[in-house]
Amino acid sequence: MNRRVSRIAQALCNSHEPITIADLSTEFEVTQRTIRNDLREISDLLEQNGASRITFESGGLIVAPKDLSQLLQSAFPENFYAYKLSPEERAGVTAVILVSAPSYVTMAEIAERLFVSRATIIKDLDSIREILQKGNLELSSRANKGLSVTGKESDKRFFLMRTLRGDLSQESDAISRLTSVQAGDRVMLQKILSEQEHTHETFLTDDSFQDILLYLGIMINRNLQGEFLEPQPYFDNSERYLMAQDILRYVTQYCGVRTTEHDITALCVLLEQARYIRQRSFERDAVKIQMITRQFIAAISEELEINLNNDYEFFENLSNHISSVFSAPPADYPEQAVIEEVLEESADIVDAVHRRLPVIARYVEREITEMEIDYIAIHVCAAIERKKNKEIAFHVIVVCHAGIATSRLLMEKLKKHFNFQIVDIVPAHEVKFIPEGKADFVISTVPLRNCKLEYVVVSPSFNDSDYIRVGNKIDALRNSRHLPSRVQDRGISPKGVIDCIQPLVYDAVPEQAPELMKKIRRAVRNHFNQTAGAEAEIFSPYLHHLLPPDHIELNVECADWRDAIRKSAQKLMEWGYIEKRYVDAMIANVEENGPYIVLSKGFAVPHEGLEQGSVRVGMYLIRLKTPVPFEAEEFDPVEFVCCLSAVDHKTHLKAFFNLVNMLQNDEFKKLLRECETPAEAASVIERYEYAILG
C-alpha cells in the first residue's frame, strides 16, 4: 500500500460527507481509473482480513463498511509487514535511519529493516544523498563497514527536526511513523516547557510549542547516544537564553540526560526564532471547572456505588474534557468505532452519566451534546477499569514497533495503571518464539502473526480506549480459564508494603515520620522497579507545601460568608499572592454562580479565574470561631475557608485533589476542629496527605 492509497483510506475514514470517485480523482490529481485501482487494492486487503469490500453506487458514490476505521487498523498495521513504502518514502526513512544511527549501518541491515532487497537500497542511494544534501550532510560509505552520514552534530539534529516537521521531505508522515529518533517522556517535556512559559511569562504559539518539544526529544536521544553538540557561537544572557537554561535544567533533572552549555545556546537560538502570543489562552474558569469536576466525580461514584474519587488521572483527564464542554461552539470530536463499542457494553454507565449530568449542565450556557456526554462516559469507564485491575498481578510481554524509547514509555504507563509484571519486551518478528507459559498475555502496538499467546493491540500513547481494551482482555482471560495463584496475591505490592509500614512509623516516630516515609516510599518503589507517577506532579506542590503553619489561622471572627472570604484572602493579598480585585472577584463569583465553592460539609475553597488578579500560587486556611451559612444547603454552616490563588490550570491541581480526598475523612475535619495552634493544624494536614499518597 503506497502513500496515496494510505491517504485515500484515511480520507474514507475521516470524511463525514459522501465521497465519490470523482472527488478523490480531483483531490489526488490522478485519473478515476487510478482511484478505482487504489480502492480495489484496499478492498483486496479488507477481504483478506475477513471484511466486506468497498462498493459503488450510481454517480461513483463510494460505499465503505461502517466500521472501516477499525477494519483498517487491523488490516494495515503501521509496520513494514503490511505497509509497502513508495521509493520517496523509503529514501526519506533510510536517510533518517542513517542520520540517527550512532555508527555505520550496512545496506543489508537497512534492507532487512525495510523488508526490501539490498539492490533496492543501492538503487535508492542517489535519492538518499539528495535528501541529506538539503540538510548540509553528506552520505559516505566504507568497505566492510557500510554507510554513514558526515556533518556537524547541529546540522544532524536540525535535519531530523526539519524532516519530521515536513520541511525537507513530503514523506514526513511515513518517516515519523516508522522511525524513532526521539527520547524522553513527552508528557514530562510538555510540563517542563509549559511551566517555563509561565515562569518567564513568555507563551509560544501552538506550532512553536510543538517544534520545541520535537527538538528536545531529538536532543535527549542524541545526548543519550553520546552524540553531543559541537561548540556553538557565544550567546549573551538574553531573556531567551535564561529560559533555555531553565528548561534544560529541568530536562537534565527529570529525564536523566546530561546537557551542555552548547545545548543551551542551540535551544536559545530556537527560542529566538519561535513565534509567541501575548498569553496562552487558559480557561478563565479553570479552577471552577476543576471544582465542578470533583462534584461530578463524587456524584457518579455515589450513583455507581464505586469510589472513583482517588483516581488523580481520572480527575485530571475529565476536568480537561469538561473544560471543552464550557466552550462555545462545541468542540468537534472524532467518532470512533471503539468508543461506540465500549458504550454499547456499558449502557448502565451511560445512563448514570445522564442522571448526574445536571451537576455539570447547570453551569454550562448551552446544551451539552451527545458526543460530549459519550466522552464523559468513556472517562468513567476507563477509571472503573483502572480501579478494577490495579491490583491484578498479570504477567505481560510488551511488543512495540516504534523503538526502545517508546516501548519503555509504554511499559511505564502500563505499570502505573495496572499491577503488571512486565516479563519481557520483544520486537514483533520474535513473538513466534515466545513459549506459551512465559506470560498471561501480550500487549502490542501492532497486530501480531504466529503468536501463541493471546494479545491485545493498543496505541503507543495508551489512551482511555486502550485502558478499556486491556481491561476487557483481562476480564475475558479471567472468565475463560483458571489463572495462576499470583493473580490473587494482592499484598505483595509497593502500595501494600507501604500501607503496612506507614502506621508503624507514625506511631513510633511521629515527628520524623513524614521525612522518613518519603525515604521508605522511594526505597520500596525502587525495590519493585515501579514508577512513582512523579511525571504528573513534578511541578505540582502538595497541600502541606501550600499550607504551612503561617498560612493557617484559627478562631477567626466573621460576620457572614463575604467577610469569611475577605479574611481568608487578607494575608495572601498582603504578601503579594493576589491583588485586591481578586478578593472582590471571588465574592462576585459566588453571587453569580452560587456556593459551588463549598466542597464538603463545613469546608469552602473560594477562588477566582486565572486573570482576575492572582500573582502566585498559594493557599490560606482560616477556621471560623463561629461557622456561617454560605446558602449551601446540607453543607452549611461553613467552619473552614481556604482561599486558593491559582496562576494556571495545573500547578495547584495535586494539592487541590488531595484536599478534596482528605475532606471525605470525617476524622480529618474533626482533628482540624480540635487543633489549638496553626502548627498542630499543619501537622494534621501533612500526616493525612501522606496517608492518602500511600
Hey, which bits of 486-607 come out as E strands? 552-556, 598-600, 603-604
Q: Is residue 82 part of a domain?
A: no
In the chain, what is the straight-line distance between the N-terminal and C-terminal CA atoms, in Å? 51
471 with 362, same domain?
A: no
**668-676 long-range CB contacts below 8 Å, 24 or more apart?**
669/600, 669/601, 669/602, 669/603, 669/640, 672/623, 672/640, 673/623, 673/639, 675/554, 675/623, 676/554
**Strand pairing report for 638-645 and 603-604:** parallel
Query: How many H helices and E strands in the chain?
Result: 29, 15
Which residue, 368, 389, 410, sits at the end of a domain? 389
Query: What b/e readout covers 659-679, taking b as 16+ CB neighbours within 10 angstroms?
Result: bbbbbeeeebbebbeebeebe
Q: How far apart are CA 547 and CA 603, in angstroms?
A: 15
Positive or negative CA dihedral for 635, 636, 641, 647?
positive
Q: Is residue 662 part of a domain?
A: yes
Same domain? For 432 and 515 the reply is no
Query: According to the model, what pLDDT value does residue 167 have?
Result: 62
For residue 510, the enclosing domain spans 494-527
User: What CATH number is given to the structural domain containing 55?
Assistant: 1.10.10.10
User: Would you say residue 331 lies in a domain?
Assistant: yes
Dist. CA 677–CA 672, nearest whole Å: 10
Single-letter amino acid code for the residue at 540: S
Please tell me whether residues 12 and 120 are part of one structural domain.
no
Domain boundary among 48, 75, 102: 75
* Residue 533 is assigned to a structural domain of this protein: no
**Continuous H helices in 168-238:** 172-178, 186-200, 206-224
Q: Which residues pair with 204 in a beta bridge?
A: 276
- Spell 405-436 as b/e; 16+ CB within 10 A means b: bbbbbbbbbbbbbbbbebeeebebeebeebee
Domain boundary among the residues 277, 298, 331 is at: 277
Q: 379 lies in a domain? A: yes
CA neighbor of 297 nearest in space, from 671, 656, 666: 656
Number of domains in the chain: 7
595 & 550 share domain? yes
Same domain, 270 and 323: no
**pLDDT digit string (tens) for 490-524?**
445 666 677 677 767 767 877 777 678 777 877 77
197 and 307 in a single domain? The answer is no
Q: How many alpha carbons lie under 13 Å from residue 439 in its C-beta half-sphere?
A: 25
Question: Is 93 exposed, middle or buried (CB count within 10 Å of its CB: 0-12, 13-18, 19+)?
Answer: buried
User: Which contacts (CB < 8 Å, 24+ apart) does range 240-248 have?
Assistant: 240/268, 240/271, 240/272, 241/265, 241/268, 242/200, 243/196, 243/200, 243/202, 243/268, 243/271, 244/268, 244/271, 246/196, 246/199, 246/200, 247/192, 247/193, 247/196, 247/216
Using an 8 Å Cβ cutoff, are 287 and 609 in contact?
Answer: yes
Examine residue 638 and state whether it is found in any structural domain, yes or no: yes
CATH number of the structural domain spanning residue 686: 3.40.930.10
Rounded CA-CA distance 223/220 in Å is: 5
Residue pair 678/640 in contact by the 8 Å Cβ criterion: no
Do 548 and 689 fall into the same domain?
yes
DSSP 8-state secondary structure symbol assigned to residue 445: S
In whole angstroms, what is the distance from residue 469 CA to residue 333 CA?
A: 20
Given its phi and psi angles, is residue 422 left (phi above 0), alpha (psi -120 to 50 degrees) or beta? Answer: beta
537 located within any domain: no
pLDDT in tens, 619-652: 999 999 999 999 988 899 999 999 999 877 777 8
Backbone angles phi, psi at 406, to 5 degrees: -65, -40
Same domain, 631 and 647: yes
| Integer-rounded Cα radius of gyration of the chain | 28
What are the 10-residue block averages of pLDDT along the chain, 694 residues in total?
68 77 81 84 76 82 77 51 63 88 85 76 90 91 88 92 72 62 78 78 79 91 89 75 90 85 91 72 68 91 88 83 74 57 81 93 86 88 76 75 59 70 77 81 80 81 74 70 45 63 74 75 66 44 90 95 96 92 92 88 88 86 96 92 85 85 89 94 89 69
Q: What is the pLDDT of residue 65?
A: 80
Q: What is the DSSP letter of 56?
A: E
**Which residues partner with 57 through β-bridges?**
61
Average pLDDT value over all residues in the chain: 80
Claim to verify: residue 557 and residue 422 sit in the same structural domain = no
Whether 565 and 673 map to the same domain: the answer is: yes
What pLDDT score was predicted for residue 281?
Answer: 41
> In angstroms, rounded to a whole number, what is the distance separating the alpha carbons of residues 621 and 680?
13
251 and 292 housed in the same domain: no
What percent helix, strand, coil does the chain show, rounded to 5?
55, 10, 35
Residue 645 backbone dihedrals phi, psi, to 5 degrees: -105, 115
What's the length of the chain?
694
Give pLDDT, residue 398: 86
Residue 310 CA to residue 297 CA, distance in Å, equals: 10
Q: Cα 115 to chain center, whole Å?
A: 33
Give a yes or no: residue 593 inside a domain. Answer: yes
**In this structure, are 459 and 519 located in the same domain?**
no
Q: Could you give the CA distance from residue 111 to residue 89 in angstroms, rounded to a whole number?
A: 14
CATH number reported for the structural domain that contains residue 445 in this entry: 3.40.50.2300
C-alpha cell at 523: 526505597
- The confidence score (pLDDT) of residue 79 equals 39
pLDDT attached to residue 485: 43
- In CATH, what number is assigned to the domain containing residue 194? 1.10.1790
Handedness of CA 251, 257, 261, 265 (dihedral sign): negative
